[in-house]
Amino acid sequence: MMTLLPLFAIAFFIPLILALTFYLINFSLWESSKNRETSSPFECGFSSSSKARTPFSLRFFLLAVLFLIFDIEIVIILPAPILMNTISMSSFIISLSVFLLILTAGLIHEWNEGSLEWLN
């Protein structure tokens, strides 16, 4: 265990010292210039003509939330083969079935609510 201490110092403290050194160099060489061009956002070389934002459809947000839910479902199901070896087969099948039943019920609910229909 004592032989790992120098390796820890190399792996932790040298990058920390390098990061702080670069930060201090950047901070000491930085020149502040406040003008209209540098403080405005870059708009493909043109000045922005309007300040209004374009409306964002709520359907895109709901679809993104649905994708996020089903991506998390995949992350939860992926370790299932490891779990299968640690618990009995019947409790594994019951827990996985309940989990998939809840997700299927949520999908059916979203489908019935019309969240997945785009041509309304």
Quick: pLDDT tens for 88-110.
888 888 988 998 899 889 889 88
- Stronger pLDDT, 85 or 54, i.e. the higher one: 85
- Cβ(73)–Cβ(107) below 8 Å: no
Could you tell me the pTM of the whole model?
Answer: 0.45
Tell how far CA 42 is from the center of its chain. Answer: 26
In this predicted structure, the answer to whether residue 83 has a pLDDT above a threshold of 60 is yes
- Cβ(104)–Cβ(67) below 8 Å: no
Q: Which residue has the tokens 């041509």?
A: 119
Helix axes 58-77, 89-113, angle to 10 degrees: 170
- How many whole angstroms separate alpha carbon 32 and alpha carbon 90? 67
Quick: pLDDT tens for 45-63.
555 555 556 677 777 887 8
- Cβ(114)–Cβ(120) below 8 Å: yes
- How many whole angstroms separate alpha carbon 4 and alpha carbon 10? 10
CATH classification number, 58-113, choose in 1.20.58.1610, 3.40.50.970, 3.40.190.10, 1.10.357.10:
1.20.58.1610
Neighbours of 82 (CB within 10 A): 8
- Cβ(12)–Cβ(20) below 8 Å: no
Mean pLDDT of 52-81: 79
Task: Domain ranges for the chain, please list them.
Answer: 4-31, 58-113
Quick: pLDDT tens for 4-16.
777 777 888 888 9
Q: Which residue has the tokens 């502040």?
A: 32
Q: What is the token pair recorded at 115? A: 């969240």
